[in-house]
Amino acid sequence: MNDFLCPECNEYLRVGENVIFKVKNSRKQSCLMLLSPLIGNYSSHKHNTFEIKTGELLEFYCPLCNASLTSDINKNLVHVILQDEKEQFHNVYFSRIVGEHSTFETDGDSLHIEGEDAGRYTYFKIGEKFRKYF
């Protein structure tokens, strides 16, 4: 079972079959959002009063330390740490744009890409070591 951690406080974000985030929409409304822990599964759960629109840019925060999870690589991506079954750590980046399916997982030596919109991020700043995967 994969776990997900906040890159700031290193606390676990996965509870049961969900990864939990604090999210704000463009109207500054906040809610907890539950995402699937499966890379490439873009299902989510939220309270029905929290309004989001396709194309909207959401703000993701750690629900424990309240740190922004916006990636330094690209402002449209969220960054979290995945801990796999072998207790190896991977950086995971996914789109924070509603309806955009883009996920990148790297262990430092390889890159796994998921989502039909992933091609939009071929130019984000990444080390020379990883450019060969794009």
Could you read off the pLDDT of 27-65 as tens digits, one per residue?
A: 999 999 999 999 999 999 999 999 999 999 999 999 999
- Phi, psi (deg, nearest 5) at residue 24: -120, 140
Are residues 48 and 36 in contact, defined by beta-carbon separation less than 8 angstroms? Answer: no
Of 77, 87, 85, nearest to 113 by C-alpha is 77
Are residues 24 and 30 in contact, defined by beta-carbon separation less than 8 angstroms? Answer: yes
Helix, strand, coil percentages in the chain from 3-state DSSP, rounded to 5: 5, 35, 55
Of 68, 74, 63, 128, nearest to 104 by C-alpha is 74
pTM beyond 0.75: the answer is yes
Residue 125 is predicted with a pLDDT of: 42
Of 8, 4, 2, nearest to 72 by C-alpha is 8
